[in-house]
A and B are shown apart, each in its own frame.
Chain A
């Protein structure tokens, strides 16, 4: 009997390749060919008018093939890049041009595109382009954007791209009537995804086939395909987009097209040569997206137990110079801020503001880390005010297990109701308390304080809408060899999709796991797809693959039943062999079934010979009967009503050095509920990575813009991504499995969760440690460095 693989810690099939350096990324594509390399001239100014661009010196450089500026772009390429997700409240959405037209609005904005024999020559040529700028006053930071003394775009008053309000009940009135009220002002700074592989695109125009082939490091192959076709004036059918291995996305590669994703195909077609662009690290910092920068003002009313009576949140979101991804990030903050709680009366208002900095698109967590931080710091403040245990205050506000599905009364990022499908928050709280030793902590804290050491504990809860629609699809093909080829259109960035999707296929089809090969992100194999974001791959493509495998299985059983002269319901498939239950002698393997499914005139292989012993089909009907197709395939799509809501809780114990203000992590604990686990090892890997990224966001990373809009730390020397030495040695993880009723597998997304509570949980723990001896100590701005903690101590002393 084949063991069911769902829920097993199956070793990742990807690891052999990745760990041996055999991954194949965009920069590895076409290296053997006679390809050309591109480099981009980027604005050195945060805000300037372009008076003149002189490229006369460039074409003299030996090895330079072409240079493009805005003047050279025609047709759809000369229009602004698409605003991917419009929203009625985004009244002043703006997007950049593939190459800047008249004005630049951030340091790093693309101005000219050079193609040369190699990247060295291309960079030499970029250095020779002469641009005359007329500098304009830059708007940097939320305060400057709100003050609106200066405008990023002349036609956007107040620098306000959007103002959006949602409410349930009457929060201001409820707060007014509440026995207790508090006000908080909380800040989160900018950071960024910083995948180790930056952006990259290769394109080749094939004049024989009249087709364009594009390889790009994206989170949406189909999205890039559609926009390349539109912008280059090609039919969709003339464009193939292939996403090879991707060295991390974390959100930045869901935005598309990046200018280079259009310019590389444009150049390839114009020059008749294969062209490659590989972004370097500095370019990534100054021209790919950032996220997280928000300022929040919170008013809350509550009763003696800490029960929320009214919550009124106003926040300001820094979306940078342009809004290609619409309002997704602030909408997620404004809705997911509520977490596992029911506030009764809630109002949220946000303004999405322009600044002369790199644009903002979702970064793992996508607005949730800020929302979680706002809500959880509010919970901590209420507990502190009432002198209650922080977990008690959370408890009284939890949505209870018998209240699902629970409608929060708001509209979520996907335009659908914010309705939680399932969850068990009280059970999670019990688990996290046990895991971190919550009840024992006060004694430990006192013991350490007696030794002059300051330790603190923090806890934060979150709910994450995952697996948003609209759909994903899958195609399952059983070849005559018995091997199973699976295609789904969304892309993969190293999460382990090949492994988990193969687990699902093996379980459903009864084939061996080793015989399954999964292809992602290749529009030639699956042209209908959305993309990998919003913790949706397992839920969306996992469900679609499960359904497609089911269809393939139905066909297998139908043909095998005919061949074995048995009823389909009497058959079973084990290790790739279909047999009559209880009669193992009567069997046929999947490869032979595949031969029988395709009535060819010619026999090619052993499987064809083996098939001759079976007879299928009705000799009185055509070889391929009506309503049938040749081949052993299954194809299906999964499209859910709404998102499924994963949840979890993190707790951390930190020690802060009384002299140096260094912050040390003593223990990190995670309880996570993403419904049924397909592969617990992969889920835990996602949590580890998320926590590591969260440690970076809370304690190390920030975008250090100066007043003129220059990014001062655009390298890994000064942008402090944590090393393995900075993340916790061990992360204690416990799972809860509350299945989702929305999909056939009962699963929820797990990709982003690990990073969501980090700002909240570290702020809480540091504050708790500092309150040893300083009861008024409050942390309101994240991230926090030792230097900032030291300054905060000075303020509180």
Chain B
């Protein structure tokens, strides 16, 4: 469990980082390393170069705008820098106030030691369909800002997740920040998941967003990419089945597809109820 040889760069600016990536087609970005380093150690990944962005200043910012600031959107929003650790985002009262779904989901991300090092943006662009934060981004209609040789561009969530561990961030681009809109007044959110052990990847997880009559639920661990299903207008006792019509939960050594389907039923009902309660101020 020792990585194969690789070159290591620790640029001091974003421009240098982008140029390092551009110069080596087989380079990977190292941020928190909580997914990448185990892959290297198990030699499941053996990139020729690691570009460590931890030396780049100001990438750890967490910027929160309230509704009406009109900086990012009507309902305000949360912008998380590429080096902001899960723990810092989870601990931020401003983030919690403007978009409570973020901390609701983050508390399910692994364990404290991993959250201390792992980055929220890194987790999103790693594009693991079993991870919490990609689903949050997808459900809330957030986006990721990336910088590449051609400058900056914004990738909306619906264009970000291409397949298992595949995102539309190009090889020579670095995700600089992720943005999720704030929670509108009168809206509600909820998150729940079921894992074998505390902190494990969920067997199934679900996040709900209820805004008036509009009901949307995002799922993790049920497909190749984070999946959002529109359940607006569906009767309460049909939510689970309605969701399953759009989902194809997999079998693996921890759970059968039938069991995952059952968890989809249970969790869908739970998160929609809970988000609705929040929307109604209960």
Q: Is the CB of A725 within 8 A of B197?
A: yes
Produce 1/0 per residue, A103-145, CB < 8 A to B. Answer: 0000000000000000110011001000000000000000000
Kindly state the separation between the CA atoms of A715 and B200 in the bound complex, as whole angstroms: 13
Q: Once bound together, how far apart are the Cα atoms of A606 and B274, in whole Å?
A: 78
A58 to chain B, nearest CB (A): 15
Chain A, residue nearest B4 (CB): A124
Residues of A within 8 A of B194 (CB): 660, 662, 786
A430–B281 CA distance with the chains assembled, in angstroms:
53
Interface size range on A against B: 20 to 34
Residues of B within 8 A of A720 (CB): 196-197, 200, 254
Q: Is the CB of A791 within 8 A of B42?
A: no
Question: Secondary structure at chain A's binding surface: helix, strand, loop or mixed?
Answer: loop
Question: Quick check: is A525 within 8 A (CB to CB) of the other chain?
Answer: no
Distance (whole angstroms) from the CB of A281 to the closest CB of chain B: 7
Cα separation A165 to B256 with both chains bound (whole Å):
39
Taken together as a complex, chains A and B put the C-alpha atoms of A659 and B197 apart, in Å, by 18
Check A722 against B253 for contact (C-beta < 8 Å).
no
Given A720-B196, A722-B197, A785-B196, are A282 and B1 neighbors across the interface (CB < 8 Å)? yes
Contact partner of A119 (CB less than 8 A), chosen from B2, B196, B203, is: B2
Report the minimal beta-carbon distance from B66 to chain A, rounded to whole angstroms.
36
Query: B-facing mask of A633-671, CB < 8 A → 1, else 0?
Result: 000000000000000000000000001111000000000
Residues of A472-489 whose CB lies within 8 A of B: none
Given contacts A790-B262, A791-B259, contact A700 B1 (CB under 8 A): no
**B-chain residues with CB within 8 Å of residue A785 when the two chains form the complex:** 196, 254-255
| Per-residue interface assignment for chain A, residues 772 to 797, with 1 indicating a CB less than 8 Å from any chain B CB and 0 otherwise | 00000000000001110011001000
A794 near B258 with CB under 8 A, answer: yes
A127 B4 Cβ-Cβ under 8 A: yes
Q: Which DSSP category, helix, strand, loop or mixed, fits chain B's interface?
A: loop
**Contact assessment for B2 and A704 in the assembled complex, using a CB-CB cutoff below 8 Å:** no
- Return B41 CB to nearest CB of chain A, in Å: 9
What 1/0 mask marks residues of chain A from 181 to 194 whose CB sits below 8 Å from any chain B CB?
Answer: 00000000000000
What A residues does B197 contact at CB under 8 A? Answer: 700, 720, 722-723, 725-726
A693-728 CB mask vs B (1 if < 8 Å, else 0) is: 000000010001000000011010110101101100
> Is B150 on the interface with A (CB-CB < 8 A)?
no
User: Which residues on A sit within 8 Å (CB–CB) of B100?
Assistant: none
Q: Does B266 contact A (CB under 8 A)?
A: yes
Q: Taking the nearest CB of chain A, how far is it from the CB of B50, in angstroms?
A: 15
Please, which residue of chain A has its CB at the minimum distance from the CB of B1?
A280
Bound form: Cα–Cα A707–B194 in Å: 28
Residues of B within 8 A of A722 (CB): 197
Q: Which of B3, B5, B199, B259 contacts A786 (CB 8 A)?
A: B259
The residue that B253 contacts in the complex, of A120, A660, A713, with Cβ under 8 A, is A713
A791 touches B2 (CB 8 A): no
Is B198's CB within 8 Å of the partner chain A? yes
Contact indicator A700/B196 (Cβ below 8 Å): yes
Q: Output the nearest chain B residue to A794 by Cβ-Cβ distance.
A: B258
B131 within 8 A of A: no
Give Cα A282–Cα B88 distance, bound, in whole angstroms: 33
Residues of chain A within 8 A of B2, CB atoms compared: 119-120, 123
Whether the pair B259, A661 counts as a contact (CB closer than 8 A) is yes
Q: Is the CB of A660 within 8 A of B266?
A: yes
Q: Are B263 and A726 closer than 8 Å at their CB atoms?
A: no
- B43, B199, B259: the one contacting A787 at CB < 8 Å is B259
A123 to B263, CA, bound (A): 42
Contact flag A718-B253 (CB < 8 Å), given A785-B196, A790-B262: yes
Name the contact of A660 in the complex, choosing from B43, B200, B201, B262 (C-beta under 8 A).
B262
- The reply to whether B253 and A704 form a contact with Cβ atoms under 8 Å apart is yes
Max chain B C-beta neighbours (<10 A), residue from A120, A700, A713, A785: A785
Cβ contacts under 8 Å, B199 to chain A: 723, 725
A232, B69: Cα distance in complex, Å: 78
Task: Determine the chain A residues whose CB is within 8 A of the CB of B256 once the complex forms.
Answer: 787, 790-791
Q: Nearest-CB distance from B151 to chain A (Å)?
A: 38
A660-B194, A662-B194, A723-B198 as given contacts; A124 in contact with B5, CB under 8 Å: yes
User: Looking at B253, B255, B258, which has the most chain A CB atoms within 10 Å of its CB?
Assistant: B253
Residues of A within 8 A of B258 (CB): 790-791, 794
Q: Smallest distance from the beta carbon of B184 to chain A beta carbons, Å?
A: 31
**A281 to B194 alpha-carbon distance, docked (Å):** 26
Complex interface: chain B residues within 8 A of A282 (CB)? 1, 42
Say yes or no: B1 contacts A281, CB within 8 Å: yes
Q: Which among A282, A662, A787 has the highest number of chain B CB atoms within 10 Å? A: A787
Q: Name the interface residues of A258-307: CB closer than 8 Å to any CB of B.
A: 280-282
Shortest CB distance B39–A (Å): 11
19 A-B residue pairs with Cβ-Cβ distance under 8 Å, sorted by A, are: A119-B2, A120-B2, A127-B43, A282-B1, A660-B194, A660-B263, A661-B262, A700-B196, A722-B197, A723-B198, A726-B198, A785-B255, A786-B194, A787-B203, A787-B254, A787-B256, A787-B259, A790-B256, A790-B258
Binding site for B on A (CB under 8 A): 119-120, 123-124, 127, 280-282, 659-662, 700, 704, 712-713, 715, 717-718, 720, 722-723, 725-726, 785-787, 790-791, 794
Leading 9 A-B pairs by shortest Cβ distance: A725-B198, A787-B259, A280-B1, A787-B255, A704-B253, A120-B2, A659-B266, A790-B259, A123-B2
